[in-house]
Structure 1
């Protein structure tokens, strides 16, 4: 079991330490960036606000009081926004 935990930690560590700036600036299609402002895992100021500044055609939606797992815990409220973005 410790092997699985270690592998997961190493994967998260590698992802969090990878500079994705070049990838984000290369995207030229509309992108919706969503995040909760109560995300205790990845603070929105360290993620969503930086991402939206790098995207050429990005739309930012911050959900007040929503946690890191908001796509699961608040799917009924977020899914209509995702659908509206895709249809636009």
Structure 2
């Protein structure tokens, strides 16, 4: 399931999906074991690491670099 939301790092409307178990564990490791992660959604744009709660960007952050799925191309690398 995906939802369409504004992504502050992409600067446009993107599809978001729920965090997977590894991503949830990374957020808990950074924010604390008691941090609620079941309502966090991740931007699915290539190279984006942004996640946020369902209805707003407040409470959002970026995942660790190891979760970058497809890094954006280097500028000028054609």
Structure number with greater Rg is 1
TM-score normalised according to structure 1 size: 0.21
Structure showing the higher helix proportion among its residues: 1
TM-score normalised according to structure 2 size: 0.23
Of the two structures, which has the highest relative contact order with CA contacts closer than 8 Å and spacing of 6 or more? 1
Structure showing the higher strand proportion among its residues: 2
